[in-house]
Amino acid sequence: MRTAYRVETVRAAEAALMARLPDGALMQRAAAGLAGACATILGRVYGARVVVLAGSGDNGGDALYAGARLARRGAGVSAVLLGARAHEGGLAALTRAGGRVADDPFAVLARADLVLDGITGIGGRGGLRPDAVPVVRAARGSDAVVVAVDLPSGVAADTGAVDGEAVRADATVTFGAYKPGLLVDPAREYAGAVRLVDIGLGPHLPSVPELEALQHADVARLLPVPRVESDKYRRGVVGVVAGSARYPGAAVLAVAGALRGGAGAVRYVGPAGQAVLARYPETLVHAGPPGRAGRVQAWAIGPGLGDTPGVDEVLESDVPVLVDADGLRLLDPAAVRARTAPTLLTPHAGEAAALLGVARDDVEARRLDAVRELAARYGATVLLKGSTTLVADPRGDLPVRVNPTGTGWLATAGSGDVLSGLAGSLLAAGLAARDAASAAAYLHGLAARRAARGAPVAAHDVADALPGAWRDVIG
């Protein structure tokens, strides 16, 4: 499991650790890790041309000390000082090691092999200041590899927001702990490949992080496995309420996902039964309404539903309910809050914006805030779809989960329908809403990567690739 912590938590842990260490020891650990990562990227340090962009704080200090280490190994290191002052110790170390302050920043940047972005780290506020913007653009426009120190300067560490201009790095070397902005878009995209340097913070960090990203082993522990005493009913029946005369395909895709999610049977309820049976004869179909369709252990309702009623009825049931797509349009927060069984909402950014009464761009810019706000307002688990899918629990003291497996190839019509069916099936199999949502997003992303392998995929390809993704996860 990867975890991320907020700035104030990281600072508190740093303070606790620093109290036990000699002055400056922590910065030296950071600088050593940073220089080592740069050496790996460069391959050959001797003769390499390195430019350090140094802001006025400790982030600049890390970068300058790392520059000094590289200079001692034979790199030609120039510093570009941005801000009213420079980290004294770092600048002195760099000068002692043979580095120099650049007379002409643009000339050194044009010839650089590697640029260290040490303008701001966790102390930065807002986007880059105007003096830094042309320098950062020149760095980006050169052939140099851009390595961000702790965070790409200009991104918000705690939220992943990018207000204004920020450094687009090829790689980020972060210290002590991931920060939420390194895992959540839009900032995540600015960070490139992220490498964590251990500076000994671990024992001083709280056990509950702000954010967590599951990995194969974590998901493997969540996935349901049939046992000797299992039968199709004990494995769980998932009810899929989806599709309409206008969108019969949504029903087929949601069922396709549900059949690969671990439930023992899939009960389809709605007007697209023929289309569903033609593709998946193993489905139990019923014309509806859901209350008459027979017992299920969880409902997934919404994909392609159009104006077909049913959401209110399903919300009144005492089993877990997933609401997606059209089902989200007329959702009554009071009805959701009144439920005793778990509810899982799976909006994309546009649907989340409508539920919150804000613009879609606001949700995209502050995904972490949006998903938390929705979970709190509806008293439901919320899976916010998108390039870094997030899952928030209504219990605000649990970490938000961020899915690391997503791929842009998933941005194809109907892939969300597959996800609904899959997550609903995991709910029926007995997973808690938060686990069902995060395991489904994880498998869904992996399946898309497997199916795509660099080429476009259709939603049904993603569904077909789910068993392979499942096998990858359980190893």
Ligand X SMILES: NC(=O)C1=CN([C@@H]2O[C@H](COP(=O)(O)OP(=O)(O)OC[C@H]3O[C@@H](n4cnc5c(N)ncnc54)[C@H](OP(=O)(O)O)[C@@H]3O)[C@@H](O)[C@H]2O)[C@@H](O)CC1
Ligand Y SMILES: Nc1ncnc2c1ncn2[C@@H]1O[C@H](COP(=O)(O)OP(=O)(O)O)[C@@H](O)[C@H]1O
Residues that bind ligand Y (CB under 6 A): 325, 348, 385-387, 389, 406-408, 410-411, 413-417, 419, 444
Closest CA to 432 of 396, 394, 403: 394
The Cα–Cα gap between 438 and 59 comes to: 34
**14 touching ligand X, by CB under 6 A:** yes
Cis peptide before 289 (omega within 30 of 0): yes
CB closer to ligand X out of 56 and 95? 56
In the list 57, 105, 262, 386, the residue contacting ligand X (rule: CB under 6 A) is 57
The entry of K ion, ligand Y, ligand X, none near residue 117 (CB within 5 to 8 angstroms by kind) is K ion
Going by the DSSP 8-state scheme, the letter that residue 346 receives in this structure is: E
CB closer to ligand X out of 33 and 270? 33
Strands 76-81 and 49-54: parallel
The Cα–Cα gap between 465 and 424 comes to: 18
**Coil, strand or helix at 78:** strand
In the list 58, 62, 113, 117, the residue contacting K ion (rule: CB under 5 A) is 117
Tracing tokens 């508190």 back to the chain, one arrives at 12
In the list 153, 308, 389, 415, the residue contacting K ion (rule: CB under 5 A) is 153
Residue 81 CB, shortest distance to ligand X, in Å, is 12
Closest CA to 114 of 147, 76, 70, 141: 147
Edge to edge, the sheet with strand 193-197 lists 100-101, 76-81, 49-54, 114-118, 145-149, 171-175, 193-197
CB closer to K ion out of 32 and 354? 32
CA-based angle 57:60:66, to the nearest 5?
145
In the list 54, 64, 91, 119, the residue contacting ligand X (rule: CB under 6 A) is 119
> Contacts with ligand X in 182-221 (CB under 6 A)?
199
Q: Is position 58 annotated in a ligand binding site?
A: yes
Q: Is position 78 annotated in a ligand binding site?
A: no
Q: Segment contacting ligand X (CB under 6 A): 126-134, 317-325, 382-390, 431-439? A: 126-134
The entry of ligand Y, ligand X, K ion, none near residue 62 (CB within 5 to 8 angstroms by kind) is ligand X
The Cα–Cα gap between 5 and 422 comes to: 30
**326 touching ligand X, by CB under 6 A:** no
Instruction: Give me the torsion for CA of 132, 137, 142, 148, rounded to 10°.
Output: 60
> Contacts with ligand X in 66-105 (CB under 6 A)?
83-84
Going by the DSSP 8-state scheme, the letter that residue 295 receives in this structure is: -
Strands 400-402 and 390-392: antiparallel
**117 touching ligand X, by CB under 6 A:** no
Ramachandran angles phi, psi of 461, nearest 5°:
-65, -40
Count of residues touching ligand X (by CB under 6 A): 29
The length of the chain in residues reads: 475
**122 touching ligand X, by CB under 6 A:** yes
Q: Is position 348 annotated in a ligand binding site?
A: yes
Residue 152 CB, shortest distance to K ion, in Å, is 6
For residues 412 and 459, is the Cβ–Cβ distance under 8 A?
yes
Q: Specify binding-site residues for K(+).
A: 59, 117, 153
- Residues within the interface to ligand X (CB under 6 A): 14, 18, 26-27, 30, 55-60, 62, 83-84, 119-126, 128-129, 132, 149-150, 175, 199
Binding residues: 58-62, 117, 121-127, 150, 153, 250, 304, 348, 385-389, 416-417
Task: Please report, in range form, the residues annotated as the binding site for AMP.
Answer: 385-389, 416
Residue numbers at the binding site for K ion (CB under 5 A): 117, 148-149, 153
